[in-house]
Each structure stands twice: as C-alpha cells, then as structure tokens.
A and B are shown apart, each in its own frame.
Chain A
Amino acid sequence: MGPHRTRTPAPGKRLGAEGRAGRLVAAVLLGAAALVGCGPPGNVVTELGPTGGVPVEGGTATMALPPASTPNWIFPIGAPGYLASYNSAIQDLLFLRLYLPEKKGDALTLDSPRGLAEKPRYGDGNRTVSITLKKGYRWSDGRPVTTRDVKFWFDLIKANRQEWAGYSPKLMPDDVTAFKILDDRTFRLRLDRAYNPAWFTANELQDFVALPVHAWNPHHEDPRRAFARLMRHARQFSAFATDPLWKTVDGPWKIAKWTTAGQVELIPNTHYSGPDKPHLDRVVLKPFTTADSEFNVLRAGGVDYGYLPPSVMAQSAKFRAMGYRIDPWEGWAITYLVLNYHHPTAGPLLRQTYLRQALQHLIDQKTISRVIWHGSAAPTLGPVPAGLLATDPYPYDPQRAKALLADHGWAARDGVLRCVRPGRGAGACGAGIEDGQELRLSLLSQSGSTETSNTMQVLKSEFDTAGIALDVRQQPLNTVLGTTVPCRTADPVCSAWQLGFFGTQGSWYFPPDPSGEKIFASNAPSNMGSWADRRTDELIRATEYSDDPAALRAYGREVARRLPVLWTPNPAYQVSAIRNDLRGVDQNPTLSLAPQDWYYVKKGGVGR
C-alpha cells in the first residue's frame, strides 16, 4: 500500500490529519464472563471498554466522525484516495474479513472471534497456507459463505491490482502464486517463497475478505469486467443505501442511510450468523466539518461518542460530571521527524550518527507529551509502537547532546555551532561537512494544530540552546506531504526540505505486524528521507521471512538505536468522550469499529 494522503489514517499509512490526538489508556479488559448475569447475552466475544451495569437491548448511539471526514466508499476493495479508516471501519461491519486485529495487552493479535476463518495452517516450510472458514456463516439472502466468495475477492485484486489502493509491488497478491479451493470451507495458498507466518497472517491475510460472488457476479464475467462494473456502482455515492448490490452482506450490520453529506446509519443485519450480534437498534455516524463544531454538539449532548481537543483534557472532570468518560484512543502508530539524507547541504550532516543522537537527546518527549499534549500523547521509542520497546535509548539529556557535538569538532561562534575539525576521522565533524560550516537545519512542519506548532517551538528552543539553528516553516498538511517525498540529491525537490513533520495524528499507522518494510527499508515507498542501511534491511527481511519471533524485537531495538528518523511524541487518534451509560466500547488501535458490542445500561439510552 502506498503512502496515505487522506485526512484520517488507515493501517500501513503515512498520515495526514489535522485534528486531535490522545494517548492510549489501556482498555479495561473485562471478558464476557464478567457480564454473565448482569451483562448482555453471553455472546460478547471480545475485550470491552468500560462494561457492567444492567444492559438494555435497543436504542440508538450517535458517534462523531473525525473533522472533515465524509465516508465515501462502500466497496471493500478501496480505490486510491478512498482508503480512510472510517471507510474501512464501515466496510468491515458489512463484509466480514477473514482475520481481524484485536488488542491483547500491548500487542495486536489476529485471532479475533469476529474473523470469518479459523487460524491459518502453514506448511511446506512456510511456503503454503491453508485456511478454513468457520462453520455456519450465511449471507443476508440465506446463501452460505464459501471459499468461492474469498476466491472472487482474490481474483478481483489479482486482475486489477493497479486499481486497488492497497497494492504494493511484491506483496499481496504478487506473493501468492496459486489459490486452490479444496472444498466449500477450505482453500490453500501457495506462496512465492517461505514467509514468517506471523508476519504473513498479520500483514497479508488480514486483507482477505469474502464478497458475495453469487450476487455480485451472477453471470460469471471475467474479473476485469466484473471489477469495472462493481467500481461503477462503488462510485455512486448517493446510492449506497439503496443499490441492491450492497444489500447482500454477511456482517452484523447493514446500511439504513448514507447521505452525500457523510451521515451513515447502520441497523442490525437480522440474518447475521456470527457470535457478536448487535444490541443497539441503530448506530449513527455523524460527520462534522470542524473539531470545534463537533465539540459544541458534544457539549450540547448531541453525540453519545465524540471527542475533545487535547487542551480540554485538564477539564475532563467537568465532562465526567456531564456524564461522559474520557478515553484517549491511541492508534497502532509511531510519530517522527523525517530526515532528508539526500539534501545537498543537510544530507551530510544528517548522515552523521552522533549528530542524530545529539538531536534525539534534545527532544524532551516526556515533558512535551505531558505539557503540550496534556497527557494525550506518549513518547515514541523506536520503529514499532512504544509498548513493544522496553527502554528509550536516547532520553532527554541536553548535556550529553552538547558533549557529543563538542567531541566531534563543533564549537559555538555567535551562538551557532560551526565545524572546526572537518574530516572523516575520529573526533572530526564527518564526511561532506566543510570547515566553518554552520549547524543550521530547517524543518517543514504541518500547520493547523496548536499542539504540533508548540512542539516545534520547543524543539527550536532546545536546539537553539545547544547551538543548533533550526528554522521552522509551517505549511498545510498537503503541502508538507507533497514536499517530503523520497528524492535524489540532484532533484530540485530535494533542496526543498531537510526535516519534515506530518504527525499531528501520528506519522505512520501500522498493519497489525509493525514491521518496517514500507518505511525504513532501502527504497521503500514511504521511506521519505531515503534512509539506506544494510543492517536495517537485514532486520526487516528477518521480520518478513524468518519465523523467529525474536526478529521483530531485534528489529525494534536495533533500529531505535540507529535513528533513521527522530522519534517524537505519538499523539493518539482522538481523545474520546463517551456517554457513561454507553458500554462495551473498545477503541481498537487499528481504528476499526465494533458497535455490535455497544449497549446501553439502565438510566438513559433507550429511545435515543
């Protein structure tokens, strides 16, 4: 999947979003057993958010969509530009995926009971994978869900890979050489080489979805023609609620209303055959043009599940008194400043490991998270979500930063460091740095967020104290995304940026396995700064191909130390405010939704 350039994140994406963020608060893990006798019927199948109370079946819950986000794609094969998380979150409620990520502790697993398939079985030295669909699943028209429905999806993406926004060369479907149907419930994939099963399940099999071939391709058209026809339907935004094509679903919900303004209303699919049947009568996903308008409606009680600006975190007691609970929703993401290693003048500076270490020692992630993000962000410690790493290799330490620079031939003159010992040897500034060159860098950062703007001011101030001049330019997100692209030194665009930041809502959202093949591998599509390091590539290959579970830990630890980028506080996706009597809300880090688990408890809720 290529770089993500929409306003809200989708897994495996570079993000572009102004807006609000918050730090992950571990979900309260109460299983279904805790609810027996006082909870909803015993079909709650997943870890829930705050639970308990006497449940009431029925009612309507209204959830606020992110600012300026309009759901506009229903077809589970996303076209470029339609990959936003709210689109895929809605699709997953209608068309079941084979595997869905679920948070367990600090990690994500793929053994969610919601998934359509049993655990995959790898064979032939991890060169084949056999998958069996769970028993008893049916489409809403009564027909069984079979392997032909999965094969239909696979044929569509294989024949139309360039039109599928999720396509990356060498990954799905290129890495599958054969798809063999064994029976109605079991199929086998032959892979082009041996893969790490955990990685393949998490990042490749999670794309698999069953599509109703009997309803969508009754005349057995070839995959290209069928795809073209389905895409024509998928572009008719105003007909999503009425087009008969989208009425054959196997998920727990179906569409009741989908307006061109972006309001989506879901009602239960009464023929749903899975374990997690909805409790509510209706779920309304409400669009807002700005965060301020959402906040005003939230204060007026117009949404049951909304979000707050981080600056209001200090007043969370007030919202609790109003009957809401505040729960920051952290994405499965990391946040960083990208460094342009090919910039004609800054490139030689940024290629020096000691210099990157000094810069990282000057970023006080803890204080920035606490004061500027009001506790709704948490430090990024390396190339994988922070919970997977034990220590911060470069804690805030301005003295250490100054010492590193002084030890490598930098001395202050007029408040700015200049190289006084040019050359490559020990104690010298490093290759490509000239005698007397100033330590001056420029940062292109996204505008529109107070928290981001303040973070950049703090960085400028800290760098300045150490004698590093940092010019901060703020531009709208799309300008930053369009400028901070991989480039060659001779390209004019390569001179346009040195350091870049587009992480107001997280810089990169991972697929369930937080491997780095798309961001830190040499020549990876979203390796914006052109980081090229043999050891990093080896470590990434190990996470993809080797079945050693230690590979991801080794990659995380080692690349955290190598600093391909500068780690900065990772803001959460949003700081959620959820009505107290709306229970069962689990804020999944991959930003999926499971409103079938939501329910009201007595005192309010019914009839809303």
Chain B
Amino acid sequence: MTTTAPAPPEAGPAAPGPVRRVLTGLRRNKLALTGALILLALLAFCFLGPLLHPTDQIHTDLTRANRAPGAGHLLGTTDLGYDLLGRLMYGGRTSLEVGLAAGLLATLLGTVYGAVAGYFGGWLDAVMMRVTDAALAIPALFLLVVVATLVTPSKPVLILVIASVAWLSPARLLRGEALALRSRDYVHAMRLMGGGTGRAVFRHILPNALGTVVVNATFQVADAILYVAYLSFLGLSLPPPAVDWGSLLSAGITYTQVGHWWLIFPPGLAIVLVVAAFNFLGDGLRDAFDVRLDTGRGSHR
C-alpha cells in the first residue's frame, strides 16, 4: 500500500486544519463512511449487545447442544450448548480487543523503528533493514504457530505475539517516508538551528508521516484480527471458555458435513465484516490524507 504524506503546513487563512480536512474527506467517501458505520455497529454489538441479550457464556449445557436457529436461540446453539448469538458478542470482544491492540502496537513499533532507520541512514539503516528483511523472510504464520505452541495463549500474550510479527511492514513503510522527509528543507533548517536528532524524528519526521501511519494502522488492525482468527482456527487460541470469532469458526467447520450452517456463517461473516470495515476505513483515510486527491479544495499539486 502506498500513501503520500501531507505537504508541510501551508500558509493562508483559508486552509482548513488537517483533522477537519480528513473528516471532510471521509464524509465524502461513501465506502469509508460505510466502513466506519459497520465498525461502530460491530462495536455496539459486541460491547452493548450482552446488555440486551444476556447469556451464560461460562457454563456448558449439553442438553441444548447443536440446536438450529429458532425461538429462544436466534442463531441456534453451539456443540456445547452455548447460545450462538451471545457467543458471537463475547467472541467479538476478544477479536476486536486483541486485533486493535496488536495492530496499534505493531504500528507503533514499526513506525519508530522505521523512522529511526530512515532518518539516520547509512550503516545503521542497512543493519536495521536487513534485520526486518530477514524477519520478513520467515512466514508469519509459522512464527505465530511456534510461539503460540510454546506459551499458553492469553490476551496480552496474543497481542505481543501478533505485534511481534506484524511490525515489519510499517517499519519498512516508515523507513521510506523518513528517507524522503529527512532531506526536506525544514528538517535541514531545524538542524542548522541546533535541533537534535530526537526533535527531528519525533517533531518533524513522524508528524509529517502521520497520514501514512494512520492509514497503515487500519490495515494493521484488520490484519491482526485475521491473525487472531488464523491462530484460533489452528487451535492456538485463548483457553476455554474464552472464545473469539476464529475459534467459533474453527469449531463450526467440524460440522460442515452435518449441515450446521449456523455455526459457520455468522462467525465467518463477522470476520469478513470487521476486516472489510477496517479496509474501507483505511482506503478512505488514505484518500483523505492525500491532498492530490483533495478535489473539494480544487487544488491539484
């Protein structure tokens, strides 16, 4: 994914602030708006839903296992007798919490790493980037499976494990941004006036790469949610009775042959929706940050 950093602040009283410009851009982008709405709906479903539809998601009840959707259980029950609608709500919490935290942590780590490598350049950049290249050469899923096998999964562990493989892509992206930004005049001017490295990286390079970072973060979150699903699907999820959408889907697949569709489609749909929502949002943000596409102001660079 390529993004373009916003130009340095322009002079002129008519120019709106960057936040406002992004919000305006988002409002005009229907896909991004749809993404944001889906996301809001899913958040409400997962975090407010249990208030309207309280269910016992701790204790199993084999007497009502594998019931098809109907009265009492709108989406049916699982093979352990859990109400599936309630289970989707609880599962979504895990998926969203871990996905958001892991995606943001990966973005943070990658951003700082890439900015430092790009700003300093030279041998330090070469060493740091070879490290990321080497890490990228190892399939992420393989690493995740190995680590998740060695440690007992918990939410913090999942977040750290996923972030530890996901930071590589933002690192490379930000390194490219930093390479370009460090030769800008305002950075040179700051250095001539006696500004230090920290100021250059944290006050000039990173804020100017913010658009790239924010857009990338949305994709990172989407990827992290998928990673949670992958791991759960492979049986490396949180110990029961904790649940997430991936493990719900994995459990449902067992019953493909017996036609228990309600165990498969709802969690599958939820994963597709949340990943699509973050991707729509990311695309919208990218367009909003990209001043070259800012047709509303009529100024093409």
A residues sitting closer than 8 Å to B (CB atoms) are: 295, 309, 311-312, 314-315, 364, 367-368, 371-372, 447-448, 450, 453-454, 456-458, 460-461, 464-465, 471-476, 479
Contact = CB atoms under 8 A, between A and B. Distances in A.
A448 B250 CA distance: 11
B62 A448 contact: no
Interface string B256-267: 011000000000
Contact of A475 (B80, B149, B257, B258): B149
A315 B241 contact: no
Contacts of B149: 475-476, 479
A473 B254 contact: no
B258 A457 contact: no
B59 interface: yes
A475 B150 CA distance: 8
Contacts of B276: none
Contacts of B240: 453, 456-457, 460, 472
B251 interface: yes
Q: Which of the listed residues A309, A364, A457, A471 has the most CB atoms from chain B within 10 Å of its own CB?
A: A457
B235 interface: yes
The prevalent SS among residues of A at the interface is helix
Q: Which of the listed residues B63, B79, B236 has the most CB atoms from chain A within 10 Å of its own CB?
A: B79
Contact of B79 (A367, A372, A464): A372
Q: How large is the interface on B (under 10, 10 to 19, 20 to 34, 35 or more residues)?
A: 20 to 34
A458 B62 contact: yes
B65 interface: yes
A474 B235 contact: yes
B155 to A, nearest CB: 15
A211 B63 CA distance: 56
Given A447-B235, A448-B235, A472-B239, 5 more contacts: A315-B258, A372-B79, A457-B240, A457-B241, A474-B235
A465 B241 CA distance: 14
A372 B60 CA distance: 12
A480 to B, nearest CB: 12
B255 interface: yes
B58 interface: yes
Q: Which 10 A-B pairs have the closest CB atoms?
A: A461-B60, A457-B240, A371-B62, A461-B59, A450-B254, A312-B257, A311-B254, A458-B60, A367-B62, A314-B258
B197 interface: no
Contact of B239 (A295, A454, A471): A471
A312 B258 CA distance: 6
Contacts of A454: 79-80
Q: Which of the listed residues B58, B60, B152, B241 has the most CB atoms from chain A within 10 Å of its own CB?
A: B60
A457 B238 CA distance: 12
B252 to A, nearest CB: 10
B62 A457 contact: no
Nearest to A443: B239
A362 B254 CA distance: 27
A161 B257 CA distance: 48
Contacts of A471: 239
12 contacts: A312-B258, A367-B63, A371-B79, A447-B235, A447-B236, A453-B240, A454-B80, A457-B60, A461-B60, A461-B241, A464-B59, A472-B239
